[in-house]
Chain A
Amino acid sequence: MSIFHDNLNRLARRDQPLAEAVKASVGGVLAVESARSGVPSARRSGRWVHSAYDPLREAETWAQTQASACREGETVVVAGVGLLYHVEALRKQLSSDIVVAVVISDLDEFHDVLVARSLDAWSDHILWLTGTPVHIAETLSRTGRPVRCLSYTPAAQADSSFHRAFEEALRRGIASQAGGQLTIALVGPIYGGSLPIARYVKRALETLGHKVQWIDHSVHASSYEVMGALKDVRNRQMMQGRLAEVLSQWTVASLAESPPDLVLSLAQAPLTLPVLEHLRKKKFLTAMWFVENYRHLTYWQQMAPGYEYWFVFQQGACLDAVRQAGARQVSFLPMAADPELHRPLELSPEERTMYGADVSFVGAGYANRRHLFPALLGHPWTFKIWGNEWEGAEDLRSVVQRNGARIDTDTCMKVFNATTLNLNLHSTTGAGLDPLADFVNPRTVELAACGAFQLVDHRSQLPDFFTEQEMISFRDFGNVPGLVEQWLGDAAARQAIAAAARTRVLNAHTYVHRMRDLLAQIGLSQPDRVGAVLRGDRQKETLLTRCAGDAPLVGLLKAFPAGQRVELKDVAAHIRRKGPTATLKREELMLLMLDEYRSETRDLL
């Protein structure tokens, strides 16, 4: 009998279909060679997937690093098969209460392992996962166990798209099941474009049932603005910097009042790197949604190591750059709309006259817009520009509304709704279309959410957002006048496209969707913290099940309303409500004592 057949027999005892599938596969993915230490090692597509010197020692080190984070009761899912040294080492380091599962993205690779190495008894305690990424994710989600994903990169990178799809499916699965209530501190900016997004995020998180502590720094905007009036640049920067430092400390003081499960910052939130490092030491979980173009606003380079999680709306090079700057975990999270605000409006005839036009543009007077928009003048259709920073654009003066004053969100929505054809041109400092068109701006989604028809400059991400039946884009601004004339003359088609785009937004591109994804991503990598709350492990009912048989605890938990998340501080507060003269049970005193130690995290400043 060969090693392969021994291995197949061993596998068949637990998973007959998998054994048959492996038998039917051909292998040939791994090139197995002897390592210096004498055991087999392997290359895939010319790259070593294990050490050429000592694969066992390498696997041991990898497993040690990973094992410290794993918790009892979890399913630890390993991406990357290779010759399974790392899986064997991990299995041996973890307690039996932890399930180790391996994602098999390529049966031929698994075939090669079974030929190269004898799988011993440890392999009987591995859950082998095969099938499509969605199928594997569903299998895991159904177990109801906390899932922790680990990647053995040397072996996983060859099938990175498979593993990415699997994680995506898993995240969606977790997001759809999430029912627990998190407490999230939302740190907004002092001013700027991310401020309204902070408000949308707040509403989305609350819609999902989470408790949001909004640390609103916009109340300090006037002070910041006053300092901006200082003529001396050094003094101005110093004073504004100091204010940002004070606000950073203010954030910490606010967090100390009631420590949240997660601190979520929006771009430009005034949190300094030392404060973020301090929060990390105090075990606060921090995340940043950087809703800015990473090429224009570059302070992420200094802040990258400060946050535990980064979410950015650009992919590819952006993800790599933020990682290289020191960010631990970076994920893609695109922009969205808030249907509460971005929606179709009933406008009066006067409003339609005031805010409407055949073609409108809302936005600031960036260089490319100044350069391109004059081509839209002198046509038989009307054209209006709304927004600020159009000073000096003399040729556009006749179409700039309100002398280029900044317009508020309500006005913006009225313009979107009253306009027949909204033009959406992404900004750039050059003269033409954005040459690095790698993100979709909020306006794209907001217009769609309003049920407003738009012409947008093409973006590489656009096909992921909308189909060609939902959104019309152009790659050459010279085509815009023709497109305007074409679509102005076809009201039915315009309305059908706009309605389809709105439906798509409501189904996939709202801030609720984004926040669900964001939390699922964090929950996936923190199955014992945020993940536990999202799964509902802290809800009254779950706690009651876990405390069955403990009469004092059950008695205390029953006092809370159904479906409520119950933490130690809630139980303690319930006990304290009995009053200072009440005679407390011994268990109640113990819980109060535990709460005394819990509250030490307040000692932040």
Chain B
Amino acid sequence: MRSNWLNLSVVWFPTMLHDSTADCRALLIQLARLGDLVQSLPAIEALQAGHQKTSFDVLCAAPLAAVLSGARNIGRVIPWDGAQWRSWADQWADNPRDILRAVQTYLASLGESAYDQLYPLNQHSRSHLLTQLFATDRTRTEHEGHSAVYMRPWAEYLRQIAQDRGDNRVHLADAWCGMSGVKPQGQAPRCSPPAVALPGDLAPIGERPGLWIGLVTGAGEADRCIAPSTWGQWIRAVLSYADEAQVVLVGSGHERETGQAILQSLPTLLQGRVWDATGRTNVGQLMQLLHRCRWVIGADTGPLHLGTLMGCQALGFYFSRARVHETGPYGEGHWVYQHATQAQPESWPIQESVALMCEGRRQPALGWTLWRNRMDHWGTMFEDALGQQADGDSRAAVWRRLTPSLCESVAA
């Protein structure tokens, strides 16, 4: 069998050396995409605050490990190489014994495998299997107890709102705090970007003063993408409105064509103020870019979350299945235009969002509602920025219903 996993560059991000004197070792498992990993940080920080003698490791998808490089007090970041597992699965039939041995070697290479406490934030099979793989017999039993009290009620709640939406006001990041058995910290996490170099032509971004705006060109799913022509209009509007504005197009390799199409839709005179970084950055470089921007705007929640982590103010266009209350940019002072229905928008709040960004002017837009978030001890919550809808803050009731023990301890 041709085994190539040893050639894999497994990158470790030890922001803090593993504390061998720690009383307890815990592992938080987050295998989902970029946005979910960033949204796990409030839970991680709350856990760290609540369990100061515990060393917390995080297991995440290998390509995203850099996201946690600047996070505080994480013991180890364990990069999980899904591509390698896929390859092993394909080759299993050729030589089951060697594949199983390669898997065993891989798991051994990840370091000590027994944790005292496990926090699987995704409720899917892989997450549960990882929990089993990284648990001891004792912690497996304890995990069952923890799961019954915290995880399951919140997991069921999340499943329910995913199905019927309703008037939920608990942000996903805060729900993950609840699942982990801790209350939110009341402040948004901040990270410093990894010390990585940008491609030479992108290095000047953010160096001179100006209104630097990171524009997220794509989205995870096709029905959540904004057409290049719409982005072209938005860029023309903002560059006309603010002379000091500079726009940085960000996106993965899949968005290179979108980036090109946006650029081509702009007058030549404006193209000098637009920087196309689509498909040219890894996660660490994207963090570096966003760190240099004042604003991040887009429909893709992942980069929006990453932008807020890097200190950007976020402005999101939420439509299709995206909902501000569950997945809006975490923290305080971020804005979201939420489309009134799940249908593809026919018009976009272009002038309105530009006025908001450049002058702080709040304007209604037909077919859209405008939301702004604030933080308190229940986490973050988006409120109607135009005062058109009654505030339905139901978070306290939800917390009391799902995890009364946590609410009692706060009261005490």
* A contacts, CB < 8 Å to B: 72, 528, 532, 537-538, 543, 546-547, 549-550, 552-553, 567-568, 583-584, 586-587, 589-598, 600
CB-contact partner of A538 in B93, B97, B126, B130, under 8 A: B93
- Given A546-B95, A550-B100, A596-B125, 18 additional A-B pairs, CB 8 A: A72-B1, A532-B93, A546-B96, A549-B97, A550-B97, A553-B100, A568-B92, A587-B104, A589-B129, A589-B132, A590-B104, A593-B103, A593-B126, A594-B88, A594-B99, A597-B82, A597-B86, A600-B86
User: How near does chain B come to A280, taking the closest CB pair, in angstroms?
Assistant: 16
Q: How far is the CA of A583 from the CA of B139 in the complex (A)?
A: 13
Q: Report chain A residues within 8 Å CB of B2.
A: 72
Task: Return the CB mask of B55-94 against A: 1 if under 8 Å, else 0.
Answer: 0000000000000000000000000001001101110111
Q: What are 11 inter-chain pairs, A to B, with CB distance below 8 A?
A: A528-B94, A546-B95, A547-B96, A552-B100, A567-B93, A568-B92, A594-B85, A594-B88, A594-B103, A598-B89, A598-B90
Once A and B bind, how many residue pairs between them come within 8 Å at the CB atom? 71
B1 close to A592 (CB less than 8 A)? no
A590 close to B96 (CB less than 8 A)? no
Q: With A586-B133, A593-B129 given, is the CB distance from A546 to B97 under 8 Å?
A: yes
B107 close to A590 (CB less than 8 A)? yes
**Chain B CB within 10 A, most for which of A543, A553, A568:** A568
User: How near does chain B come to A438, taking the closest CB pair, in angstroms?
Assistant: 41
B92 close to A587 (CB less than 8 A)? no
Q: How far is the CA of A553 from the CA of B103 in the complex (A)?
A: 13
A568 close to B89 (CB less than 8 A)? yes
**Minimum CB distance partner of B103 in chain A:** A590
**Chain A CB within 10 A, most for which of B94, B126, B140:** B94
Q: Report chain B residues within 8 Å CB of A72.
A: 1-2
Q: Report chain A residues within 8 Å CB of B82.
A: 597
**Chain A CB within 10 A, most for which of B88, B89, B100, B140:** B89
Q: With A72-B1, A597-B86, A597-B89 given, is the CB distance from A592 to B129 under 8 Å?
A: yes
Q: How far is the CA of A552 from the CA of B107 in the complex (A)?
A: 17
* B contacts, CB < 8 Å to A: 1-2, 82, 85-86, 88-90, 92-97, 99-101, 103-104, 107, 125-126, 129-130, 132-133, 137, 140
User: How near does chain A come to B91, taking the closest CB pair, in angstroms?
Assistant: 10
Q: How far is the CA of A24 from the CA of B107 in the complex (A)?
A: 62
Q: How far is the CA of A528 from the CA of B82 in the complex (A)?
A: 24
User: How near does chain B come to A526, taking the closest CB pair, in angstroms?
Assistant: 13
Q: Report chain A residues within 8 Å CB of B99.
A: 594
**Chain B CB within 10 A, most for which of A532, A547, A568, A593:** A593
CB-contact partner of B92 in A528, A550, A598, under 8 A: A598
Q: Report chain B residues within 8 Å CB of A567.
A: 93
**Chain B CB within 10 A, most for which of A532, A538, A550, A594:** A594
Q: Report chain A residues within 8 Å CB of B140.
A: 583
Q: With A589-B129, A590-B107, A590-B133 given, is the CB distance from A532 to B94 under 8 Å?
A: yes
Q: Report chain B residues within 8 Å CB of A598.
A: 86, 89-90, 92
User: How near does chain A come to B171, taking the closest CB pair, in angstroms?
Assistant: 28
**Chain B CB within 10 A, most for which of A543, A553, A586, A597:** A597
Q: How far is the CA of A593 from the CA of B88 in the complex (A)?
A: 10
Q: How far is the CA of A584 from the CA of B89 in the complex (A)?
A: 19
Q: How far is the CA of A583 from the CA of B95 in the complex (A)?
A: 26
User: How near does chain B come to A220, taking the closest CB pair, in angstroms?
Assistant: 28
CB-contact partner of A553 in B88, B97, B137, under 8 A: B97
B85 close to A597 (CB less than 8 A)? yes
Q: Report chain B residues within 8 Å CB of A532.
A: 93-94
**Minimum CB distance partner of B95 in chain A:** A546
**Minimum CB distance partner of A598 in chain B:** B89
Q: How far is the CA of A591 from the CA of B93 in the complex (A)?
A: 12
A547 close to B132 (CB less than 8 A)? no
User: How near does chain B come to A582, taking the closest CB pair, in angstroms?
Assistant: 11
CB-contact partner of A584 in B1, B90, B126, B132, under 8 A: B132
Q: Report chain A residues within 8 Å CB of B88.
A: 594, 597
Q: Report chain A residues within 8 Å CB of B90.
A: 598
**Minimum CB distance partner of B87 in chain A:** A597
Q: How far is the CA of A537 from the CA of B107 in the complex (A)?
A: 28
Q: With A596-B126, A596-B129 given, is the CB distance from A590 to B92 under 8 Å?
A: no
Q: How far is the CA of A458 from the CA of B82 in the complex (A)?
A: 61
Q: Report chain A residues within 8 Å CB of B96.
A: 543, 546-547, 550, 553, 568
CB-contact partner of A594 in B92, B95, B133, under 8 A: B92
Q: How far is the CA of A254 from the CA of B132 in the complex (A)?
A: 33
User: How near does chain A come to B316, taking the closest CB pair, in angstroms?
Assistant: 27
Q: Report chain B residues within 8 Å CB of A538.
A: 93
Q: With A72-B1, A597-B86 given, is the CB distance from A591 to B95 under 8 Å?
A: no
B94 close to A589 (CB less than 8 A)? no
**Minimum CB distance partner of B90 in chain A:** A598
**Minimum CB distance partner of A593 in chain B:** B129
Q: With A72-B2, A589-B132, A590-B133 given, is the CB distance from A595 to B100 under 8 Å?
A: no
